[in-house]
Structure 1
Amino acid sequence: MALEDLKGIRERARLRKPQRTTLHSWPFAQLGSFIAYKAKRSGVPVVYVDPAYTSQECSQCHHIERGNRPAQAVFSCWVCGFVEHADHNASHNIRQRGWMVWVCGAQSTAPELTLIA
């Protein structure tokens, strides 16, 4: 789970006032805690990954560059030419990082959540 992806969302979002009010009242930490709690209760493992640069990293050649995001929804790698929807590409990178933590035993750099009682 990439809670770091949610940091700064309030500042980045460009919405009308009623939508901003709804967004600002969304407790991200509580959402993460609920997910971790329900996963633990069901016996489902949760892996934390560092989401840094996942939106700028090519899921094919792993080249990271700000220019790989020519538009909000478009990912286009400058090195290998891979083109995909930006969110889909980032999800592949997060999945790969999670796999590395889970299967390969790589150390996660993301902070773990504390459960809210």
Structure 2
Amino acid sequence: MILYYVSQEAPYMMLKERQTFLAGNDRFEGYLADILLRLSLTVGFDYEIRLVRDGQYGMLGPMGYWDGMIGEVHREEADLAAGPLTITPRRLEVVDFTEPFLTLRSTALVKKP
């Protein structure tokens, strides 16, 4: 299984800061790295963490092609993408999502006139 992650965003996925050389999945730490390790041990699968090639989450371009993590999963270049992705109706047309493990709600406060 291949996992792509868009960027190094704390606390989800970060490169470890070490003095020694690290390779493969050992280079990464964070919430998603921990979840993937636990899931792979429980379910029994191998995986490789990679950063998405173009550094994007995934948008539908003017020519009808998806970029980013959504595009790589849609084109079957990756088996799974994990990250702080927004579930949109457009993205739901081309990939399946799990239930979100974290939901952020944005609000604005305005003083009453």
User: TM over 0.5: same fold?
Assistant: no
**What's the TM-score once normalised by structure 1's chain length?**
0.23
Query: As a proportion of its length, which structure holds more helix?
Result: 1
Query: As a proportion of its length, which structure holds more strand?
Result: 2
